[in-house]
Amino acid sequence: MNIDEQMSSLLGALYEGPMEEPLWHSFLAQVRELLGAHMVTLLLRPPSEEDQVVMLADGGSLSAIKSYNEGQFVLDPFVNLPSREVVSLHEFMSTEALLESEFYRIVMEPQGWYDFLGVDIREENELDVRFRVGRYRGAKAFGEQEKGLLHSLMPHLERSIRLQARISRTEREKAVYAGAVEQLSVATIILDELGRVLSVNASAEALLEEGSAIRQEEGRLKLADPSAGLELEELMKEVARSRSQKIPLAVRAMQIPRSAAQPELGLVVKAVPGDGGAQGRATPSLALFISDPLQAAEPTQQVISRLFGFTPAEASLAMLLANGLTLDEASAELGVSRNTARTHLRSVFAKTGVSRQTGLVRLILNSVAALAGDRGT
């Protein structure tokens, strides 16, 4: 196989990598072979400290990689490279400095490592990517040819990683809403982009079967009160438009009348984040959350945690902000630094699709009002 055929195969494996298990397994193996290397690693570090770091490798010792991940990485001097610049270890630091380093003595020498090529890709609020290629002692040092080949792969690697992140995000979002269908104590109904019912949880199923206020007909929802039915249609259209136009995710609320002897149901319509259906398949588009005042309600903080996938710390911060506290006041109330609070806030913004605290407060108040009322946190 000539170099053009090898590169074609390599790029094919790179773009198929997001669908592989483990990720990019074929690509890493082909890079190792093409560069005459003994190990190739790809590290993906998410911007949030609460998300798991992904370490992928081909070649090398599994036990050595495990030891590195469990603590030896703090000794590694070959980090924080100039973004998108391919650098060799021997260019990055002198031979004398390397031989005197703890990393060489504890990690490289026992494993027989001699040289590494590396490239880092960093973007604010994006994945921190570290790509490394290593050779054992006895092999020649990496040269300009290997550096040039690795450099030519970097734009493709970035696109492939963004593709994987998009796939992963979509799968997580689907999982969140699929999980919400079963886990929320309020009735939960997931609709596709055409308003057809995709799934319901047990509470929603009981509500639809009872049918006095809302029921399912031919795969679609129908309200007993005609004016409420028209209002729901308008709310769903408004939220669906916000989703299709990539506007920060809308949440709208309304009340559903029942018989005079029963209190109204509270309903929240929320856009399901995502990029739409693939190849005509129905995908989650809208989520309807319906609460019955006659049933026990979840505490407000649990409601927003389930609605938006917040961690407990994020939910606590969001509730304090919604109650009128400033970020400084909220951080003091939570007993965390302002920087920690800002980190939580960035994650909250990412999960809700808003970019300002005023928008977040409005979103939280709108979404929980119909579901949790004033039942507290």
Fold agreement between 3-167 and 299-377: no
Amino acid at 82: P
Separation of alpha carbons 172 and 48, rounded Å: 15
CA angle (234 as vertex; 231, 239 as ends), nearest 5: 125
> pLDDT band at 174, cuts 50/70/90?
low
Mean pLDDT of the chain: 83
> Is residue 278 pLDDT above 70, yes or no?
no
- The share of the chain scoring above pLDDT 70, in percent, equals 83
Q: Find out whether 249 and 352 touch, Cβ atoms under 8 Å.
A: yes
Separation of alpha carbons 223 and 211, rounded Å: 9
Distances (CA, A) of 300 to 112, 319, 366: 57, 8, 12
Burial (Cβ within 10 Å: 0-12, 13-18, ≥19) of residue 61: middle
Please give the backbone phi and psi of residue 109, each rounded to the nearest 5 degrees, phi first. -60, -45
Separation of alpha carbons 66 and 72, rounded Å: 9
Detail the DSSP E strand segments found in the chain. 39-45, 54-59, 87-88, 113-121, 128-136, 187-191, 197-200, 214-217, 220-223, 251-256, 265-271, 286-291
Pick the CATH number of 3-167 from 3.90.850.10, 3.20.20.140, 3.40.50.300, 3.30.450.80: 3.30.450.80
* More confident site: 307 or 199: 199
Q: Find out whether 220 and 321 touch, Cβ atoms under 8 Å.
A: no
Which architecture does CATH list for 299-377? Orthogonal Bundle (1.10)
> Is residue 280 pLDDT above 50, yes or no?
no
* More confident site: 12 or 365: 12
Greatest Cα pair distance, the chain, in angstroms, is 86
**Residue range 199-229, pLDDT digits in tens:** 888 888 999 998 989 999 999 999 999 999 9
Report whether the peptide linkage leading into residue 46 is cis, meaning its omega lies within 30 degrees of zero: no
- What are the domain boundaries of the chain? 3-167, 184-296, 299-377
Q: What is the DSSP letter of 219?
A: T
**Residue range 17-68, pLDDT digits in tens:** 998 888 999 999 999 999 999 999 999 987 665 557 888 999 988 888 888 8
Range 184-296 classified under CATH 3.30.450.20 = yes
